[in-house]
Structure 1
Amino acid sequence: MIHDFETKVFKKEKYNFGGMDEYIIRGGRDLFPLLPKVFDGIKVIGVIGWGSQGPAQAQNLRDSFENTGIQVKVGLRRQSSSWHAAERAGFTEANDTLCEMYDLIAQADLVLLLISDAAQAQIYPQILPKIKDGATLGLSHGFLKGYMKAYNDCWPKNINVIAVCPKGMGPSVRRLYEQGKEVNGAGINCSFAVDQDIDGRATDIALGWAVALGAPFTFKTTMEAEYRSDIFGERGVLLGAIHGIVEALYERYTVQGMSPETAFKRSTESLTGPINNIISHEGMSGLYNKFECEDRKVFEEAYLATYHPMFEILWEIYDEVVSLNELKGVVMAGIRHDRYPMGKIDNTPIWKVGEKVRAARKSLHEYREVDPFTAGCYVACMMAQVDLLLEKHHVMSEVVNESIIEAVDSLTPYMHSRGVAYMVDNCSVTARLGARKWAPRFDYLLSQIAFPAIDTKSVKDNGELDAFRNHRVHKAMETCAKLRPSVDICVL
């Protein structure tokens, strides 16, 4: 059972997530005094890399371990363009907290390997032998596990191997940690996995790592389940699907005669703003219950037309992840990028209109119109992802975090503040590749299947609406709401 675990230090709590009992650790700064006990014998934590997660985790850990005698150091290649960025964050050679990458790997008791997925795949044969005997390797993504599996490779037998995977991008991990300094438990939820435990301490080290990052609650998974759900989720509703959905909606609304600004507001602004905010606080059922009369009919028609096309493409994406095709594709793309760097998507008309709309705002939350058609399409995709992951036997805590919470509490607020294109162009390389590859497919399925079904009045309800209204995910989200800190992320 992957949802139970044993801990010698922390108090685990049992919660029912939509009919499934799972154990979690509730985080909070009141647990920080336990960290020296958890990390007894660990003198140096080496954070390797300065990409999406590296800056956030290095700074959070440095703050959490202050005055404990445990040093948090950053390891980079000397020629890295990130060297000066790490120095600006206070990690320097002068204070012995900024080191050459391989030197730090050799000295650290806990090595947090946070370089890009493609880089991990390329240089792990050089990294793993340098980790000292009895140390712990920590990952924040199961990607390397999946890649090594594809080539029948395995971990060295003399180290612990764990994962702590924040359910949000690095800037959110840091932002909510800083915002939550006065609110116990404010931060980004994490999953954790133990893939190899040589001394019986791996679970508590992983839990301590999550607590030190500021996770409000931490749930157990496996590395294989994590990379499947995470890589799949990035290509799905967390990023790729939102990209495709809003582009399809924008095109539909402009064809119907709306001005570009109105079309953008009804598609993108409504989704990333009020729709997202309601789901964050009240769940999908709370959003649905706000619609009455004609608006409810519009939502339901959009939902019914969209659900099965979304399930179809999400199923295809999941199969591509499980087959390891997506993981191999990331590595191959990394090689191509040496010659052809990835371009940006922000020069197309929809995103230029978005720049004008955001520039004209008087406040971040001034647009409050909850468009029922946009909401129906978005919720249908979200529900299709939930149902597919449950069908593939992922535990409910992982399902709601990868399909709902990470979207509404981490990624989408950045989209609302700075634009969907900004989010796609500034996330991790793995997520960025997935969004660019799959977003057009979401767009096409909506434009070619869902919307024509609505226009020809051929949408039918074969029990999908009752399944949505009575779905156990709503109870799971009620449980998550009880664990949710009162702090909403503030994106400047």
Structure 2
Amino acid sequence: MTTNDLDFRTTVFDKEYITLAGTREGIVRGGRHLFDRLPQAFEGVDQIAVIGWGPQGSAQAQNLRDSLGGRLKVVVGLRAGSSSFAAARAAGFSEDDGTLGEMFAVIAASDMVLLLISDAAQAELHEEIFGALRPDATLGLSHGFLLGYLTQQGSHFPTGLDVIAVCPKGMGASVRALYVQGAETNGAGINASFAVEQNVSGRAVERALGWSVALGAPYTFRTTLRSEYLSDLTGERAILLGGVHGIVESLYRRFEDQGMSATEAYRHSVDAVTGPISRTVSTDGLLGLYQRLDDADREVFARAYVAAYPVGLELTHEIYDEVDAGNEIRSVILAGKRLARFPMGRIDRAEMWRAGEIARESRDDKALPLDPFTAGVFCGVMMGQIDTFIEKGHPYSEIANESVIEATDSLNPYMHARGVAYMVDNCSTTARLGSRKWAPRFDYLLTQTAYPAVDHSTSELGADLVKAFEEHPIHEVLRICAQMRPPVDIFVQ
């Protein structure tokens, strides 16, 4: 893709340009002062349907309703008999006022349909959903999985529809929690990308931007639906979930083998990553984390980074290739057919995660260690993902958000509050499957190749990798992105 491919025009919102690593990208900043423009952005739309009440569906339905303030009708559609009807009613949606109903009836009655059911359900029901859509409706997605599935099947979206995407760079709970904070802090929220797959009406860009602003996104950048699912599926299998899962399990065992108690090993592995390391990267970037260390700790960081970076680069390339070839999407669909017979087990019963429950009970966040070895491993794997996405031609906004910002500003704070095991056991089915599949690969390669390289050998290549890290363009990209960061940290209820 080229910069021109990602440019866009809007007459409703104020577009500005940022330059990231020499590439100009158009963005739109959000904020509650823009909510009065939403009816203009949604011109021609009287009713917006949010289909599904999972983490994204529940968050987006409430944010849209609150932002629009009754100027457009927001209706939640659920499968007949769904247990989520009670939760939607508790959040203020109701059959009595026409804001809650059976999904296919809601789809047929709506001008804009945001399809936020699970990936497997989208694949299973897409033909029936397409058949229920109005001929001139706008179909909205928050993930490109369905495009990947349709491509595999040699199929496509119905002609005559606008097809757009707004993809928050964080979990649904973050989308809602930071929006609620934004009532007092204008602009608090989760960044989002948007894509326009089909623009029949000529209004697709405005509707996508209106959707993103209504969700509370501090800034919105453009991507393509294909680019989004390639980076998103890869990222959640790498540093966002599967990678961090494998990293902390390998480090926990390493620290225990070196003589630490279970609680100490947890502090120096899991707590260090999800606490001080992530907080520092969130505010000061990867280079800021490195520069915060003293000379001795920088040497420890560098040795760990040099050993972990090749693992991150190799595995992220492999994951990306599997996603690009359609194998990961196919794997999710096949697994969905097995889950009734072979449901996913929980990982939180293992000794490490039980130790974590005990460790969190007595944790003092101010006293947590910023372990330099852990930091080097985490940043090495993260940089492997960054360089993979650069090589594959993704825009820098997407690279920064999918590789760094989503991890440190959304996912890791939840893991810090409730544990990595909690996240692995409670995220989307697609992400849970990906983490279980790829976390052992990260664990294995770090344990079998990276740590022995640290313990038993040195390499002249190490100095080159450290210099490349110090001079990497991602640092300036993150500095610019940080200027648009909301002035609040996520809270976990």
Preserved contact between residue 167 and residue 190 of structure 1 (Cα < 8 Å): yes
> Residue by residue, what CA displacement relative to the aligned partner does 1:332-352 show, whole Å, maximum 9, x if unpaired?
111111222222111001100
Partner of 1:225: 227
Partner of 2:474: 473
Preserved contact between residue 76 and residue 101 of structure 1 (Cα < 8 Å): yes
Partner of 2:486: 485
Aligned-pair CA distance for 1:369: 1.6
**Structure 1: runs of 5+ lacking an equivalent:** none
Partner of 2:60: 57
Preserved contact between residue 18 and residue 474 of structure 1 (Cα < 8 Å): no
Distance in structure 1 (CA, Å) of the matches to 2:360 and 2:110: 45
Preserved contact between residue 282 and residue 405 of structure 2 (Cα < 8 Å): yes
Distance in structure 1 (CA, Å) of the matches to 2:472 and 2:458: 25
Preserved contact between residue 305 and residue 459 of structure 1 (Cα < 8 Å): no
Partner of 1:404: 404
Partner of 1:390: 390
> Residue by residue, what CA displacement relative to the aligned partner does 1:129-182 show, whole Å, maximum 9, x if unpaired?
110021100000000001101111011112100000000000000000001112
Larger relative contact order (C-alpha < 8 A, sep ≥ 6)? 1
Matched, 1:176 2:189: no
Preserved contact between residue 192 and residue 207 of structure 1 (Cα < 8 Å): yes
Partner of 1:442: 442
Aligned-pair CA distance for 1:3: 2.8
SS of the aligned residue for 2:149 comes to helix
1:327 to 322, 325, 329: 329
Partner of 2:149: 147
Aligned-pair CA distance for 1:19: 2.0
Distance in structure 2 (CA, Å) of the matches to 1:416 and 1:285: 22
Identity percentage of aligned residues: 54
Aligned-pair CA distance for 1:368: 3.2
Moved over 6 A (4+): none
Given residue 33 of structure 2, which amino acid in structure 1 is its aligned partner?
D
Given residue 367 of structure 1, which amino acid in structure 2 is its aligned partner?
A
Distance in structure 1 (CA, Å) of the matches to 2:451 and 2:130: 51
1:216 to 181, 205, 218: 218
Distance in structure 1 (CA, Å) of the matches to 2:106 and 2:180: 27
Matched, 1:13 2:16: yes
Distance in structure 2 (CA, Å) of the matches to 1:313 and 1:160: 36
Distance in structure 2 (CA, Å) of the matches to 1:462 and 1:445: 22
Aligned-pair CA distance for 1:439: 0.3
Aligned-pair CA distance for 1:95: 2.0
Partner of 1:380: 380
Q: Spell out the pairing of 1:345-364 with structure 2 (5 A cutoff).
A: 345-361=347-363
> Residue by residue, what CA displacement relative to the aligned partner does 1:394-423 show, whole Å, maximum 9, x if unpaired?
010000000000000000000000000001
> Residue by residue, what CA displacement relative to the aligned partner does 1:355-406 show, whole Å, maximum 9, x if unpaired?
00111235xx233321000000000011111000000000100000000000
Preserved contact between residue 19 and residue 472 of structure 1 (Cα < 8 Å): no
Distance in structure 1 (CA, Å) of the matches to 2:53 and 2:344: 19
Aligned-pair CA distance for 1:457: 2.4
Distance in structure 2 (CA, Å) of the matches to 1:319 and 1:489: 33
Aligned-pair CA distance for 1:459: 4.1
Partner of 2:311: 309
SS of the aligned residue for 2:49 comes to strand
Aligned-pair CA distance for 1:301: 0.2
Given residue 117 of structure 2, which amino acid in structure 1 is its aligned partner?
I
Preserved contact between residue 162 and residue 194 of structure 1 (Cα < 8 Å): yes
Partner of 2:36: 33
> Residue by residue, what CA displacement relative to the aligned partner does 1:234-257 show, whole Å, maximum 9, x if unpaired?
001000000000000000000111
Given residue 55 of structure 2, which amino acid in structure 1 is its aligned partner?
S
SS of the aligned residue for 2:187 comes to coil
Aligned-pair CA distance for 1:61: 0.4
Aligned-pair CA distance for 1:85: 1.2
Given residue 418 of structure 1, which amino acid in structure 2 is its aligned partner?
R
Q: Spell out the pairing of 1:61-460 with structure 2 (5 A cutoff).
A: 61-68=64-71, 70-361=72-363, 365-460=365-460
RMSD between aligned alpha carbons? 1.0
Given residue 235 of structure 2, which amino acid in structure 1 is its aligned partner?
G
> Residue by residue, what CA displacement relative to the aligned partner does 1:283-336 show, whole Å, maximum 9, x if unpaired?
000000011221111000000011112211111100000001001111111111
Partner of 2:47: 44
What TM-score, normalized by structure 1, do the two folds share?
0.98
Aligned-pair CA distance for 1:67: 3.3
Preserved contact between residue 311 and residue 384 of structure 2 (Cα < 8 Å): no
Distance in structure 2 (CA, Å) of the matches to 1:19 and 1:369: 36
Distance in structure 1 (CA, Å) of the matches to 2:333 and 2:84: 21
Preserved contact between residue 48 and residue 115 of structure 1 (Cα < 8 Å): yes
Preserved contact between residue 60 and residue 215 of structure 2 (Cα < 8 Å): yes
Distance in structure 2 (CA, Å) of the matches to 1:428 and 1:86: 19
**Structure 2: runs of 5+ lacking an equivalent:** none
Aligned length: 489
Preserved contact between residue 24 and residue 219 of structure 1 (Cα < 8 Å): yes
Given residue 479 of structure 2, which amino acid in structure 1 is its aligned partner?
E
Distance in structure 1 (CA, Å) of the matches to 2:5 and 2:50: 27
SS of the aligned residue for 1:125 comes to helix
Distance in structure 1 (CA, Å) of the matches to 2:62 and 2:5: 30
Distance in structure 1 (CA, Å) of the matches to 2:213 and 2:316: 32
Aligned-pair CA distance for 1:18: 2.4
SS of the aligned residue for 1:45 comes to strand
What TM-score, normalized by structure 2, do the two folds share?
0.98
Distance in structure 2 (CA, Å) of the matches to 1:20 and 1:407: 23
> Residue by residue, what CA displacement relative to the aligned partner does 1:43-95 show, whole Å, maximum 9, x if unpaired?
11110011120000000001001131x11111001211212111111112122
Distance in structure 1 (CA, Å) of the matches to 2:340 and 2:109: 31
Preserved contact between residue 2 and residue 220 of structure 1 (Cα < 8 Å): no
